[in-house]
Amino acid sequence: MEIQMDNLDSDLLRTFLAVARAGSVTDGAAQIHRSQSATSIQIKRLEGILGQPVFDRHGRGVILSEAGRKLLPVAQEVTTRLDAALRVLSQTAVTGTLRLGVPDDHGRARLSEIIATFTRQHPQVELDVTCALSTGFPEALQKGRLDLAIYEVQHPGPGEEVLFEDPTVWVQSAHRTFAQASPLPVALFDHACWWRDAALTSMDQRGQPYRIVYSSQSVSGVCAAVEAGIAVGLLGRSSLGPGLKVVPPELGFGPTPASKLVLAEHASDASPPRTAMKAAIRHAFQSGTALGPVRATAPAG
């Protein structure tokens, strides 16, 4: 007797990915333009084939189960390869070159994943990626040395599309308090940029003695100094990890500005690779697949 076995098909995998990205069946269904009931049936069918749940239910949402965590990279790889094959075989493949600037800091791994996915989807695009401190990216775009760049600003200007907004906060080590410190030790960025200016303005408004004891070009450097208990520092709220906490109100700091992660491009006519990369970046940030907490850049000047 022949035994009939179920197969995993790409439609089930795409439904699974949509629900995983959204964190709920309802929101996942909206992403793939299906009803909630149809999406639930697809997930139940997938779980029936695997013989175990791919999601654990909690409250109004879902999180990946152990089986779901194992399936996630497989589903991403399979659907990406299928999409790439379709583009090649249907002669709609994107070709050309693209010079992209991405910031060299905490968000590098997340942004690198976007680039890796783009490369799998558009293998015929020649990417020239500059991964560096982003202070020079606006000038590089203006002079045509980059086609597209991601960087951070306080006030977005014309042509700078906001991808993510991160409130700034004064932080200290989770293991040290500075309530009695005078002058207050501060860690700052060591090049002229709005982050440094915002920190100095905040310190002046506080009206208490301070001294700069540590300087760094990068967010990771300031984080390291603060976590070590050397000083307090102005960072994005998304930088907060187990070793950091927001300074208490008694230190007397007022409100500080938010940071905006932006996408900008050279003023020349958009090429197919640039259009495709912009769409990939927007999708990743809008769906949340790029992120979780994001500390995406070294600050731009």
| The predicted structure's pLDDT at residue 297 | 43
Q: What is the pLDDT of residues 88-124, one digit of tens each?
A: 666 567 889 999 998 876 556 667 778 888 887 888 8
Q: What is the pLDDT of residues 246-266, one digit of tens each?
A: 999 889 998 899 999 999 999
| The predicted structure's pLDDT at residue 282 | 86
Burial 100-113 (b: 16+ CB within 10 A, else e): bbbbbbbbbebbee
Cα 157 to Cα 154, 160, 260, distances in angstroms: 9, 6, 11
| The predicted structure's pLDDT at residue 90 | 64
Q: What is the pLDDT of residues 13-64, one digit of tens each?
A: 999 998 998 888 888 888 888 888 889 999 999 999 999 999 998 877 899 9
Residue located via tokens 């731009």: 300
Query: Is-same-fold flag (10-89; 96-301)?
Result: no
| The predicted structure's pLDDT at residue 121 | 80
Angle made by CA atoms 203, 204, 210, in degrees to the nearest 5? 55
Domain ranges in the chain are 10-89, 96-301
| The predicted structure's pLDDT at residue 92 | 65
Angle made by CA atoms 65, 71, 73, in degrees to the nearest 5? 120
| The predicted structure's pLDDT at residue 85 | 77
| The predicted structure's pLDDT at residue 290 | 52
pLDDT category at 169 given cuts 50, 70, 90 is very high
Q: What is the pLDDT of residues 126-138, one digit of tens each?
A: 999 988 778 889 9
| The predicted structure's pLDDT at residue 293 | 38
What's the topology of domain 96-301? Answer: D-Maltodextrin-Binding Protein; domain 2 (3.40.190)
| The predicted structure's pLDDT at residue 105 | 64
pLDDT at 170 exceeding the cut of 90: yes
Q: Where is average pLDDT lowest: 115-119, 192-196, 204-208, 290-294?
A: 290-294
Query: What is the mean pLDDT of the segment spanning 142-161?
Result: 92
Burial of 223 (0-12, 13-18, 19+ CB in 10 A): buried
pLDDT category at 244 given cuts 50, 70, 90 is very high
Mean pLDDT of all residues belonging to the chain: 85
The class of domain 10-89 in CATH terms is mainly alpha
Q: Where is average pLDDT lowest: 144-158, 259-273, 274-288?
A: 274-288
* pTM passes above 0.75: no
Query: What is the mean pLDDT of the segment spanning 132-147?
Result: 89
Those residues whose C-beta lies under 8 Å from the C-beta of residue 263, and which sit 6 or more positions away, are 148, 149, 150, 160, 161, 163, 278, 281, 282
| Token pair of 20 as six digits | 């995983």
**In the chain, pLDDT over 70 holds for what percent of residues?**
88
* Identity of the amino acid at 57: R
pLDDT category at 291 given cuts 50, 70, 90 is very low
**In the chain, pLDDT over 90 holds for what percent of residues?**
43
